[in-house]
Amino acid sequence: MVKDLSVQLGGLRLKNPVIPASGTFGFGLELAGDMDLNVLGGISLKGSTREARYGNPVPRIADCTGGMINSVGLQNPGMDVLVNEKVPALRKIYNGAIIANISGFSVEEYRENCAKADACEGIDLIEVNVSCPNVHGGGLAFGTSAQAAAQVTAAVKEVCPNKPVFIKLSPNVTDIVEIARACEDAGADGLTLINTFLGMRFDIARRKPVLANTMGGFSGPAIFPIALRMVYQVAHACHIPVMGCGGVSSARDVVEMMMAGATAVQVGAQNLRNPFACPEIVSELPSVMEELHIDSLKDIIACI
């Protein structure tokens, strides 16, 4: 029997649930000459801010057992380049879901950036990264406060009448369900979780942190069980779709995430170790489904 890998996400039909996570796949264009992008269910583009950013000083990457720590610092060419150049170029060669990952350092910047993304014809879904520090609120990330996350969600929804809005949540919180519910109540169409954990490494020979920025985002297979737990908790507490993310590195991980409640699954750090990870996972899914007697992936969403 032919396996049905398709899913419905925020009103969009995806041919399969596999999506490269923001920051691990560039703008998709960089790999277009090496693989068929159209095997992917969607692509979450590199995070964009209002102005172009160079990012943090180097070194930005620290290797870890079971993962890596990065402190890239949202290096990107800015929103105008995203909507006027990157998305139109990708849309010419890619027919799947294009997801704009939007960052901001104030509620006003989130509104402005998301309004531009909503007006961009080639963008299908807006993913709002609330892990940025609130420059008007003492520097704490918007996503660490239910009230602040809800404020961003409501502000963005006001200027996004055309595209579904998913809020990407930080795991660096005491109760992720509280924040997820606050975003849902504020009008979010869906949630992406999780973003990276805050981590650090030391160079003991130099007696200094490995990263120039001291700390960064820890990702990779080591965080998968925690990400899975958070997806399970949020998917069973909320009534909006979830994109699961965090430590996914195989087709079996995708199935496990979906059983926990994810409608679609993002692959992050694994892309940096193996740029072909996502197409390989897509190609492996039917055999895993056959082994587990699954005919349609839609049937296993939140089945546990």
pLDDT of 138 above 70: no
Catalytic site residue from 132, 160, 183, 238: 132
Edge-first strand listing for the sheet containing 216-219? 61-64, 67-70, 216-219, 197-199
SS3 140: coil
Confirm whether 132 is a catalytic residue: yes
The stretch 227-254 carries a mean pLDDT of: 98
Residue 114's nearest CA partner among 83, 140, 92, 84 is 83
Residue 187's nearest CA partner among 238, 112, 139 is 238
Chain-wide mean pLDDT for the chain? 96
- Which residues fall within 8 angstroms of residue 224, CB to CB, at 6 or more apart? 246, 247, 248, 249, 253
Question: 131 pLDDT band (50/70/90 cuts)?
Answer: confident
The stretch 125-147 carries a mean pLDDT of: 86
> How far apart, in whole angstroms, are the C-alpha atoms of residue 125 and residue 13?
12
Per-residue pLDDT reduced to its tens digit, 48-95: 999 999 999 999 999 999 999 999 999 999 999 999 999 999 999 999
Task: Enumerate domains of the chain plus CATH numbers.
Answer: 7-56+77-201+218-300 (3.20.20.70)
Q: What does the H/E/C string look like for 169-189?
A: CCCCCCCHHHHHHHHHHCCCC
Window from 21-35, 99-113, 120-134, 223-237 with minimum mean pLDDT: 120-134
